Amino acid sequence: MISFILNNEDISTDQPAGETVLDFVRYHKDLKGTKIGCREGDCGACTILVGELMGDKVRYRTMTSCLMPLANAAGKHIVTIEGINPADGSLTPVQQAMVDESSTQCGFCTVGFVMSLTGFCLSERGRPRPQTAKDVLLSGNHPTADKEAAISAIDGNICRCTGYKSIERAACRVSEQLAANGKQFVPEYFAYITERLGDLNDSAPKAETRPVGSVPFVGGGTDVYVQKPEHMAESYATPLLYDEQLRGIRENGEFIEIGASATVTDLLESDVMNAVFPDLYKHLKLVSSTPIRNMATLAGNFVNASPIGDMTVFFLALDAEIELCTSPHVCKGDTRTLALKDFYLGYKQLARSPEEIITKVRFKKPSGDFRFNFEKVCKRTYLDIATVNTAMSASVTTDASGTLALQSVHLAAGGVAPIPLYLKETSAFLRSKEITEETITAANEIMQSEIAPISDVRGTEQYKRLLLRQLFRTHFVELLAAELTEIAE
C-alpha cells in the first residue's frame, strides 16, 4: 500500500509501485489536466509538484510525472494543476501572468509551464534575494526576485506554438510579483500540508517492494523509465531516491561525502559544494533541465554508465571513490570502496554485482589553490546530452618568479570512448608541469592517444577529437581566468 496526499486528498493505493504517477493521476483519479507528451522527460507537459517534509517545512520540487514511479510518491504531497486552481474559479497569479502576456495558444504545454513557474514561486530560488545597493538604485526600495532564475525554471518545458518570448515575459512578470510580495500562489489548504504529511509519515506503510527482475533498484527513474517503461510499470524495484541512508552532503574528515541518492539539484543547493565549486551553477545548468535535475541521482548516472554521463565525468575529474554494499538495510560494515574510474570495465559493464547498491560518493577535500572546470558541447546548449564533455581539477602553484604550475591534476572526458573516461596518462603527464603552450600541446598528443571516439549521429571521430582538443584548451582559459584577466589589464 502506498500512501500520499494528492492535491487536497489523502490517498492509499495498492497500485503497482512501478506505475508512473502520470498514469495514476490520469487513469485512476481522472485528473486529466496533467498532459502526456513524450513520456521521456523531454517536453514537460506532465510536470507536477512534489512536496517533501523537511523538518517543519514542506519543500516543493517540480518533477516529470511520466518518469516518476508511485513508489517515490509515498509520504509526499503530489500536486497537479487541479491542486493549485483556486476554488472560486479565478486564476492564480501565474495563470494570470500567462493570460496577460498571451503566453498560450493551443494550450497543450500550458499546464506544464504553470506548474514549473508555481514550483519556482515555492522554491528557494523564487525567494526575493536581499537587496544590494545596486538593486535599490535600479528598482527602488523593493527586494528583487531573479528574472533569470524564473526563466531557468521553465527550461524543462517545450512549446510548439508561442515562440517562447511571451512565456518568458510571463515568467518575468511572475518574478516581479514575487518581489512585490503579498500574492498567494497556491490555495489555503497548502498551509496544513506540513501537519498532514507529519501524520502520514508517522503512520503510513512504506511502498511495498520486491527487488526482482533486471532493474532491482530505482532512483529518480529518469534513465530506466525512458529505457524500459513497460517493464518498470510492472516492476517492484526498490525505491532509493528518498532513502535517508543514501542522502546528505557533508564534510567528513579529509573527504566531502555525498549520499548516492543526492540529486543534481541537491548538489546545486548544497553550501558544502558551492564553497568548493564557485561555478557550480554555471556547470550544472548544462545538465538536463530543472525537473530532471530534481530527480536525477548521482548513483543513477554512474550505474547507467553512459559514456557521456555528465555527473560521472564531473566526479571522475575529482578522482572520486564510491562505496558499495549489498543493500542499504543490511549494510553492517560489509561495504567496499572502489575508485569511480575502476567502476567501468567496458561499454555498460560495471565492476558491480546486480544486488550491490552504491551508498556514497566521496572525494578528497581540495587543498591549496584548487581549480575546477566542466565543459560540455551538445547539438543545442540546454536539455541535451553531450557530444563530448570533459572536466578537469587541479591545484595551481606560483613560484617567486610568477611561473604557474599544476599539481594533483585529474582529467576526464565523455563521448570519446565506450566508457566515461578518466584520462590517466594525460593527468599523470600534467602533474608538476609548468603551464606553457608546449605543455598543453604535448598533453593533447597524449590525450589523443588515450581516447577512441567513434563516428555516430552526434559527430564523426575526427570532429570529436577536435572538440576534445578545444575543450581541453578551454579548461586552461577557465582555470587561469584570474591570471589571464590580470595580464589583459
Ligand X SMILES: Cc1cc2nc3c(=O)[nH]c(=O)nc-3n(C[C@H](O)[C@H](O)[C@H](O)COP(=O)(O)OP(=O)(O)OC[C@H]3O[C@@H](n4cnc5c(N)ncnc54)[C@H](O)[C@@H]3O)c2cc1C
Which positions touch ligand FES (CB under 6 A)?
36-39, 41-46, 64, 66, 104-109, 159-162
Choosing among ligand FES, ligand X, none, which partner's interface includes residue 293 (Cβ < 5 to 8 Å by kind)? none
Strand ranges (DSSP E) for 93-220? Answer: 217-218
Q: How far apart are CA 303 and CA 446, in angstroms?
A: 28
- Taking the least distance from each CB to ligand FES, the nearer of 160 and 250 is 160
The footprint of ligand X on residues 338-377 (CB under 6 A) is 357-358
Q: How many Cβ atoms from other residues are within 10 Å of residue 375's Cβ?
A: 23
Q: How far apart are CA 224 and CA 304, in angstroms?
A: 8
Choosing among ligand FES, ligand X, none, which partner's interface includes residue 109 (Cβ < 5 to 8 Å by kind)? ligand FES
Choosing among ligand FES, ligand X, none, which partner's interface includes residue 37 (Cβ < 5 to 8 Å by kind)? ligand FES
162 is a site residue for ligand X (CB under 6 A): no
- Taking the least distance from each CB to ligand FES, the nearer of 58 and 66 is 66
Pairing of strands 47-54, 57-64: antiparallel
Span interacting with ligand X, options 84-92, 222-230, 395-403, 438-446, rule CB under 6 A: 222-230
207 is a site residue for ligand X (CB under 6 A): no
Smallest separation, CB 422 to ligand FES (Å): 33
119 is a site residue for ligand X (CB under 6 A): no
- Taking the least distance from each CB to ligand FES, the nearer of 2 and 46 is 46
- HEC profile of 387-413: CEEEEEEEEEEECCCCCEEEEEEEEEE
**By the 8 A CB rule, do 46 and 295 touch?**
no
Cell numbers describing residue 144: 528583487
Choosing among ligand FES, ligand X, none, which partner's interface includes residue 358 (Cβ < 5 to 8 Å by kind)? ligand X
Smallest separation, CB 374 to ligand X (Å): 11
Q: How far apart are CA 390 and CA 317, in angstroms?
A: 8
Q: How far apart are CA 461 and CA 483, in angstroms?
A: 34
Among 53, 287, 318, 443, interactor with ligand X by CB under 6 A: 287
Smallest separation, CB 166 to ligand FES (Å): 9
- Taking the least distance from each CB to ligand FES, the nearer of 104 and 123 is 104
Among 4, 24, 120, 217, interactor with ligand X by CB under 6 A: 217
Cβ neighbours of residue 353 closer than 8 Å, sequence gap 6 or more: 326
Smallest separation, CB 331 to ligand X (Å): 12
Pairing of strands 357-364, 349-350: unpaired
244 closest CA partner among 261, 227, 228: 261
Phi and psi torsions of 392, nearest 5°: -145, 135
- Please give the residue ranges that form the binding site for ligand X (CB under 6 A): 40-42, 215, 217-224, 226, 240, 260, 287-288, 292, 295-297, 299-301, 303-304, 309-311, 357-358, 385
